[in-house]
Structure 1
């Protein structure tokens, strides 16, 4: 499929999705609500990290009468969350299955600077990706770049 035709199809699909979303916003009072929870949400934000929480706040302040659901995979346990607020508590929550997804960087083979005919292996290391309210900024011991 040529690039222009593929782009044209993607733009048409995008326009159709936007139109369906706009229609659902305008007629939401006439729509059938969820049978299980009896709640209707205008936006569902997946992830209560820094970006998810800020997005929820901005939507609430800028759109009147809006319902937002923010989902987070992590525990609601306040004891775990209290430990994470202190930089010295970092070792107790880092790399635990309850608060961290357990990702690691990949091993990398690179040519040696000393002897270009040989390779050097840089081992992977743990890469904190949190599943808690506040996201990775909550479990990274206040480290930033």
Structure 2
């Protein structure tokens, strides 16, 4: 598996994920307080540099999905057909995260049949520890709420 690239703004996201928490950056200015993803130094709404990380419920809906054919990256060819989804969070539908829907947290990427996915399907976050040649990382994945 390819490891996500982290930067200073996004590093807390991955630190919380390693603890099994889905947190999203938010503006810490009382008059704004809006969520923002991907993480960045300045609020795109009020331009404040004050931020905090808020815990999310981990619930969302599939906003979009695709089954890449052929697999876009050789590292994933053995797991094709796999899904790539965009999930909108229930806390704010404009906050969207990319990932995969799997049958259980440690299941392979091809563990959910393509016909089971649909736009609007409810999902719940699950975390799995993956390993790469360099080191291990915890990544969010998504489980269908109705099996």
Q: TM-score, normalised by structure 1?
A: 0.25
Higher Cα Rg: structure 1 or 2?
1
Q: Which has the higher strand share?
A: 2
